[in-house]
Amino acid sequence: MSHDHHSHDSPDSHRSDDAAQDPATFWENRYSAAGQSWSGRPNAALEREAAGLTPGTALDLGCGEGGDVLWLARGGWRVTGVDISPSALALGAASGGVSGSIRWLQADLATWQPDETYDLVTAHFLHSPVQLPREVILRRAAAAVAPGGLLLIVGHAGVPPWAEHAHEHDTASLPTPEEVLAALDLPTEEWTVVTCAEVERLATAPDGTQVTLADSVLSMRRTTPAP
């Protein structure tokens, strides 16, 4: 895939009993059985929204195999990548080359809370066929952004054509960027919206054909307090 969704998002159809599975077991089985699932390249929205930012500290929630983590680290960022699956993290760590700039952290985002703030906090494609308290996680993500830092939340704006029959992509679980913004309910005096839009990109389907997909992109900068 030319631009991959290496977070909690799978192009595969899943059985109807998936929703009853324990999230840790589901995602570990998913990554340990599949081997490397994605191209290892960063998501298009990250490349676009992070362009021009001064490298600092970054947090990637639901990092999967770490394509975004590795791209940020190669660009000079010090990155923490968090995922529930040890196998996914091991695949990212095996890429090597920038290991000194990366902390791989195995944790369940449903309960994990950041213990510090970051200059960039990202969450890509946190859609899941198993239980995932998405809004709670995204509010914690916002709280982890340092003053002057950027929050980037990216999701599917529509169901990928090859996943039309996968219940994980119920359109009701694909909020618009405006809905994500409203759900976060952040104080307007502390945040400035940078991007709140559906953005198209080219992707490669599992059968190798090129398709156009739309991402729901919300990026916000936390206001730097006056001295």
Question: pLDDT band at residue 203, thresholds of 50, 70 and 90?
Answer: confident
- Could you tell me which residue, 138 or 127, shows the higher pLDDT? 138
Instruction: Find where tokens 């340990």 sit.
Output: 32
Q: What is the pLDDT of residues 81-95, one digit of tens each?
A: 999 999 999 999 988
Instruction: Identify each DSSP E strand in the chain by its residue range.
Output: 57-61, 78-83, 102-106, 118-124, 145-156, 191-204, 210-222
- The confidence score (pLDDT) of residue 227 equals 65
**CA dihedral of 34, 125, 135, 13, whole degrees rounded to 10:** -50
- CA distances from residue 58 to 43, 108, 122, 185, 227 in whole angstroms, order as listed: 15, 18, 8, 23, 24
pLDDT of 218 strictly over 60: yes
Half-sphere exposure in the Cβ direction for 195 (13 Å, CA) = 18
Q: What is the pLDDT of residues 134-184, one digit of tens each?
A: 999 999 999 999 999 999 999 999 888 877 555 444 455 799 999 999 999
Q: Which CATH number is 18-222 given? A: 3.40.50.150
Q: What is the pLDDT of residues 37-78, one digit of tens each?
A: 555 689 999 999 999 999 999 999 999 999 999 999 999 999
Query: What does pLDDT average to over the chain?
Result: 85
Q: Between vectors from CA 83 to CA 211 and to CA 65, what angle results, nearest 5°?
A: 45
Domain ranges of the chain: 18-222
Question: pLDDT band at residue 35, thresholds of 50, 70 and 90?
Answer: low
Lowest mean pLDDT among 27-41, 64-78, 196-210: 27-41
Cα(55)–Cα(78) distance, integer angstroms: 8
Question: pLDDT band at residue 34, thresholds of 50, 70 and 90?
Answer: low
- The confidence score (pLDDT) of residue 12 equals 38
Specify the 3-state DSSP secondary structure of 174: coil
